[in-house]
Structure 1
Amino acid sequence: MISVPEKYQGLRSFAFGDGPKLADELLDLVIRGLKTATCSTDDEPNISAPGEQWIVLDGRGEPRCAIETIELTYRRFPEVDAAFAYDEGEGDRSLDYWRQAHRTYFGRQGKFREDMMLMCERFRLVEVFARAEPS
């Protein structure tokens, strides 16, 4: 069981990706400091704002860490640059890898379009939650 510090209780929460395996993989990149950005379609219900903190869940729905949004921009798919792709922290961190992975990801959701608008968010890791000690 993961213990969520009191100061984070009541924050909105989410898991990265579209399934337990991807949620765990992306969470691991966040905790290791490799993933400091993410993107979603502009029709997502969970719109963030700079300064907002979130609880990130693992693939089992357990709270694992808190992040804070530091930047939010809107860009069309082809406008995403190499620096943003690198900050997403996935694969070899290249723009080519990012484009292929996100075509696949948004394609699975039936949302991919070459000119799609994306909400591009940069964030910082605030705290990794400790496992609660058994009583």
Structure 2
Amino acid sequence: MILDRFWAEARSAVPTLPVAVPEAWAFGATAAHADELLTLVLDCAKTGTASAMQDVKADGEPVPEVGQASVILDSRGQPRAVIVTTAVDIVPFSQVSAEHAYSEGEGDRSLAAWREIHERFWAEHCQGADGFSEDMLVVCERFESVFAP
């Protein structure tokens, strides 16, 4: 299995990674998003991501935890990178910080661009029943890319 081989290679390079293969996932809601955001990770421009708390709940996913490893997939489902979560904050959309916006690496990396990009994204792709709002809770995750062959 490709994921098992990738994880073995990652653990060989970074022996502190856990033995068990972690969750593998792609950024965004479309193939184009997945590849665009993965490229930002591979270029070391993206060290943060954000999820709507209502989507996390709708998907039945746990909130990320500090120290948690993830395998990042490209649009074809191929493993391309390993990230480790370094911080998690849950805040209303209107209180996401400029520092977090910058960490996501998108657009001009400003808070204004982050808000525009994410409001549009969640208005179109939010799975939660409440949809987008200024006071919706956002899971702001910071991470370190630890392996990207």
TM-score by length of 1: 0.89
Alignment of 1:1-135 (within 5 A): 3-6=5-8, 7=11, 10-43=21-54, 44=56, 45-110=61-126, 111-129=131-149
- In structure 2, runs of 5+ residues without a counterpart are 12-16
Q: CA deviation at 1:46?
A: 4.5
Identity across aligned pairs (percent)? 37
The aligned length equals 129
- Two-structure CA RMSD over aligned residues (Å): 1.6
Task: Provide the secondary structure at the position in 1 that maps to 2:133.
Answer: coil
Q: CA deviation at 1:10?
A: 1.8
4+ aligned runs moved over 4 Å, structure 1? none
Q: CA deviation at 1:127?
A: 0.1
Q: Structure 2 counterpart of 1:42, which letter?
A: M
Q: Where is the helix percentage greater, Structure 1 or Structure 2?
A: 2
Match of 1:132 in 2: none
CA contact under 8 A between 2:46 and 2:104: conserved in structure 1?
Answer: yes
Post-superposition CA distance 1:88-123 (Å, at most 9, x none)? 100110111000000010001242111100110000
CA contact under 8 A between 2:7 and 2:21: conserved in structure 1?
Answer: no
User: 2:137 and 2:144 mapped to 1: Cα distance?
Assistant: 23
User: 1:98 and 1:113 mapped to 2: Cα distance?
Assistant: 15
User: 1:80 and 1:12 mapped to 2: Cα distance?
Assistant: 26
CA contact under 8 A between 2:35 and 2:75: conserved in structure 1?
Answer: yes
